[in-house]
Chains A and B, each alone.
Chain A
């Protein structure tokens, strides 16, 4: 039987195991929305296409599955771009379906026409314009395959209206073969042997885990390696949760707002074992002084990540999980006569001393609420049993520093692109993936206003996400830079007019809470977290509080500003 393009699309989604789709309808995708009623797909209607894509992204990060977003042509597609770029920078698997004007109108500046394949070229892993309905099923198959394989990423499929309306036999290919795309998953044996040898020779080894560990589900392999050898672990922001934050071997995050001990460890290590990272500038600081004494082993599935920013001694192009498993095996084969834990003990002692000398801290003496207190209380109440998403800026850094992520896929944040407005819709996507989990968005008063319209979405789909707004009445991180580097000229960062978040929440049909005194923090948070409804908790915090440690832009990691 012949199906129309819309039906073929939805059949293909079912074949891929998709159950939940995030979207926003429009003229060019009407046929798809019409066909939706006949398919067992749950559709989540958002209020802005940026929210749609962030939600699909949050769903993907939390669940490990491919997130699916469906938006219309023109403005629907351009609104989706920020979400796509966010996913691209953080290697998140998405399939983004955009409507397009009918093929005969393409290029004619038709109503709601935009060249989204052209626009999204540099922020997708790959993209397609489907010109023939006979190509549709194959294209969807390829899109999912590309999104989830190799280094994952968003794939966009542009669907002209006439293609969606015309008919073809439905045949879903079982396999994909693309001669120009063959990601390498297995680690080169010789490189693994070499790495094992270098770890054996090292005195001050350090594992640096990134988002690739989470993407490849290498959590257990990483824990096994670190614990067996008793090698300390630091994480990039994207790597938080790859190694348990409450493990004594974990030094916390490194980089611009990393812990003192993590940055000092990088500075003094003689062997940096970097797994699933790309040496972003926020991690390395000044490249010339990054890990000055270290040989570097770098595992990443993407060859372009290797030797892009930092020169390495042992490059390993591989899936992180396979490489870590091979390293574990390498140590098993060579016998355990050597006492690694004992050998690295003095190194760990040194790190412990650094951490005791300069732990993560803040001045908690005054009456005002410090944002760090709120995050610490959240951790105490939840014991880490929550999925945390963040917006971008100070709220994100405090959430990265003061909450411990003990499991992978419980920390959702826009690392590479730094997208304000990401956290709330991403939290909704995570809640869709895990309806029974506690999902919390840690926000600032600035960034929450970027996608606050999704409160409607949360309430109408009964997604009981909790939003904790650390309200310091300013764009805190930008203000911090102005204070430290721009003569305290607080140009356009003080938000004089802030909405009444409690009333706003109530107007959307959610619960609203406000915390203004220190002693209210715990009871009110407990009350809000226990609620079955979407809840907004506004916490009025000290405006002058800054994120420390801080490595000024362009400085070396050992040049931290401390509290």
Chain B
């Protein structure tokens, strides 16, 4: 099962390779990884999307906590959270298809961030399902390039029960 882990780390040289090395060295899988500084000086937040059964996810979290530079690990699957990913998609948009592509842009509330006579570059934000649906729809026009940020996630302020 897919899990989203929020990992607070000391922002020092080599911390990324410690985390990445742990995953590769122990045969864990990284689906996506996002790292950026937080509000607190010297601390970065990594959001790691990974997969595995319950025991593997438990082991991943324990191994991460064991790293000296890791401050905190939260499994977002255990809490109510919001997660988003941003994607830039460069898609073919000729005279004939441009209107159709723009309609999709509208429906998915994307932004056009770059234009050329034959291509559009779109910016879209959403959860994994939305990004997948968008790229599926645009597929037939021909996606030239695609860049994704990987998932970022935050715990919801109100932890409502189902």
Name B's interface SS: helix
Among the 9-residue stretches A32-40, A68-76, A178-186, the one with 4 or more Cβ atoms under 8 Å from chain B is A178-186
The distance from the CB of A266 to the nearest CB of chain B, in whole angstroms, is: 22
**B window 133-150: CB within 8 A of A:** none
Proximity bits, A92-132, B CB within 8 Å = 1, else 0: 00000000000000000000000001100110011001000
Q: What bracket does the count of chain B residues touching chain A fall in?
A: 10 to 19
| Nearest-CB residue, chain A, relative to B68 | A126
**Most chain B CB within a 10 A radius of its CB, from A121, A125, A146:** A121
Residues of chain A contacted by B14 (CB below 8 angstroms)? 117-118, 121, 129
Given contacts A121-B17, A129-B13, A302-B66, contact A308 B71 (CB under 8 A): no
A180 touches B66 (CB 8 A): no
**A window 176-194: CB within 8 A of B:** 178-181
Proximity bits, A307-345, B CB within 8 Å = 1, else 0: 110000000000000000000000000000000000000
Complex Cα spacing A125 to B68, Å:
8
Among the 9-residue stretches B54-62, B96-104, B119-127, B151-159, the one with 4 or more Cβ atoms under 8 Å from chain A is B54-62
A307 touches B71 (CB 8 A): no
Residues of chain A contacted by B62 (CB below 8 angstroms)? 303-304
| Nearest-CB residue, chain A, relative to B65 | A303
A180 touches B59 (CB 8 A): no
A304 touches B63 (CB 8 A): yes
Complex Cα spacing A49 to B68, Å:
26
B71 touches A121 (CB 8 A): no
B17 touches A180 (CB 8 A): no
Complex Cα spacing A343 to B13, Å:
59
Given contacts A122-B25, A304-B59, A308-B59, contact A181 B17 (CB under 8 A): no
Residues of chain A contacted by B21 (CB below 8 angstroms)? 121-122
**Most chain A CB within a 10 A radius of its CB, from B10, B25, B68:** B68
B18 in the interface (beta carbon within 8 A):
yes
B69 in the interface (beta carbon within 8 A):
yes
Complex Cα spacing A303 to B67, Å:
12
B69 touches A180 (CB 8 A): yes
Complex Cα spacing A129 to B13, Å:
9
| Nearest-CB residue, chain B, relative to A146 | B68
The distance from the CB of A362 to the nearest CB of chain B, in whole angstroms, is: 40
Complex Cα spacing A307 to B13, Å:
32
B66 touches A307 (CB 8 A): no
B46 in the interface (beta carbon within 8 A):
no
Residues of chain B contacted by A129 (CB below 8 angstroms)? 13-14
Complex Cα spacing A178 to B71, Å:
9
The distance from the CB of B83 to the nearest CB of chain A, in whole angstroms, is: 24
| Nearest-CB residue, chain B, relative to A123 | B25
Complex Cα spacing A181 to B68, Å:
6
Complex Cα spacing A304 to B25, Å:
15
B76 in the interface (beta carbon within 8 A):
no
Residues of chain A contacted by B22 (CB below 8 angstroms)? 122
The distance from the CB of A408 to the nearest CB of chain B, in whole angstroms, is: 25
Proximity bits, B15-50, A CB within 8 Å = 1, else 0: 001100110010000000000000000000000000
Complex Cα spacing A118 to B65, Å:
20
Residues of chain A contacted by B18 (CB below 8 angstroms)? 121
The distance from the CB of B116 to the nearest CB of chain A, in whole angstroms, is: 39
Residues of chain A contacted by B65 (CB below 8 angstroms)? 303
Residues of chain B contacted by A122 (CB below 8 angstroms)? 21-22, 25
| Nearest-CB residue, chain B, relative to A183 | B66
Residues of chain B contacted by A146 (CB below 8 angstroms)? 68
The distance from the CB of B68 to the nearest CB of chain A, in whole angstroms, is: 4
The distance from the CB of A299 to the nearest CB of chain B, in whole angstroms, is: 16
B70 in the interface (beta carbon within 8 A):
yes
Residues of chain A contacted by B13 (CB below 8 angstroms)? 129
Complex Cα spacing A302 to B65, Å:
11
Proximity bits, B64-92, A CB within 8 Å = 1, else 0: 01101111000000000000000000000
Residues of chain B contacted by A302 (CB below 8 angstroms)? 66
Complex Cα spacing A129 to B18, Å:
14
Complex Cα spacing A122 to B71, Å:
19
Q: Which of B25, B55, B58, B70 contacts A180 (CB 8 A)?
A: B70
The distance from the CB of A129 to the nearest CB of chain B, in whole angstroms, is: 7
Residues of chain A contacted by B55 (CB below 8 angstroms)? 307
B63 touches A180 (CB 8 A): no
**Most chain A CB within a 10 A radius of its CB, from B13, B17, B62, B65:** B62
**A window 147-198: CB within 8 A of B:** 178-181
The distance from the CB of A188 to the nearest CB of chain B, in whole angstroms, is: 16
The distance from the CB of B53 to the nearest CB of chain A, in whole angstroms, is: 12
| Nearest-CB residue, chain A, relative to B54 | A307
Given contacts A122-B25, A303-B62, A304-B59, contact A178 B68 (CB under 8 A): yes
The distance from the CB of B67 to the nearest CB of chain A, in whole angstroms, is: 8
The distance from the CB of B10 to the nearest CB of chain A, in whole angstroms, is: 6
Proximity bits, A16-44, B CB within 8 Å = 1, else 0: 00000000000000000000000000000
The distance from the CB of B21 to the nearest CB of chain A, in whole angstroms, is: 5
Residues of chain A contacted by B58 (CB below 8 angstroms)? 307
B residues whose Cβ falls under 8 Å from a Cβ of A:
10, 13-14, 17-18, 21-22, 25, 55, 58-59, 62-63, 65-66, 68-71
Interface contacts beyond A118-B14, A125-B68: sample of 10 additional A-B pairs, CB < 8 Å, sorted by A: A121-B18, A122-B21, A122-B22, A126-B68, A178-B68, A180-B10, A180-B70, A303-B62, A307-B59, A308-B59
Query: 13 A-B Cβ contacts within 8 A?
Result: A117-B14, A121-B18, A122-B21, A122-B25, A129-B14, A146-B68, A180-B70, A180-B71, A303-B65, A304-B62, A304-B66, A307-B59, A308-B59
- 7 nearest CB pairs, A to B: A126-B68, A304-B62, A180-B71, A303-B62, A122-B25, A181-B68, A121-B21
